[in-house]
Amino acid sequence: MAIQKVGVVGCGLMGSGIAQVAAVSGFSTVVREVSAELLDKGLKNIDKNLNRLAEKGTITEAVKSEIRGRLKGTTKIEDLKDCDVIVEAIIEQLPRSANSFQRWMQFVRRRRFSRAIHRR
């Protein structure tokens, strides 16, 4: 199965970085966060990183726009249903992590998934 769409659960420091790398690599990417406020914060971090790359001349403004166009933010777990790969990058608090895992596993029965663990 060819990977075309990547999902990332969590848009904190680790999740936003994973989402950025996926989008830079050419994958359509959906990043999910529990609230609009946290999602906005993570997407702003990605925008800041892409702006820095454009300012340094590492990427052009056109490439920056293409990358950002491949990246979608959401607070709805259902938006992960079409993802070929889902990476979980939420704070490792067992009850929250287990609940999140159970909710999005319904979408990945025949898909690939990974967990990026960040413990507090």
Q: Which of 27-31, 35-39, 79-83, 88-92 shows the lowest mean pLDDT across its residues? A: 88-92
Return the structure tokens found at 90: 């939420």
Spatial contact of 1 and 84, defined as CB atoms under 8 Å apart = yes
Which residue, chain included where needed, has tokens 């990332």?
A: 8
Answer left, alpha or beta for residue 98, where phi above 0 means left and psi between -120 and 50 means alpha. alpha
- pLDDT tens digits, 18-67: 999 999 999 999 999 999 999 999 999 999 999 999 999 999 999 999 99
Calpha distance 107→22 (Å, rounded) = 19
- To which residue do tokens 């989008």 refer? 23
Q: Name the pTM for this structure.
A: 0.80
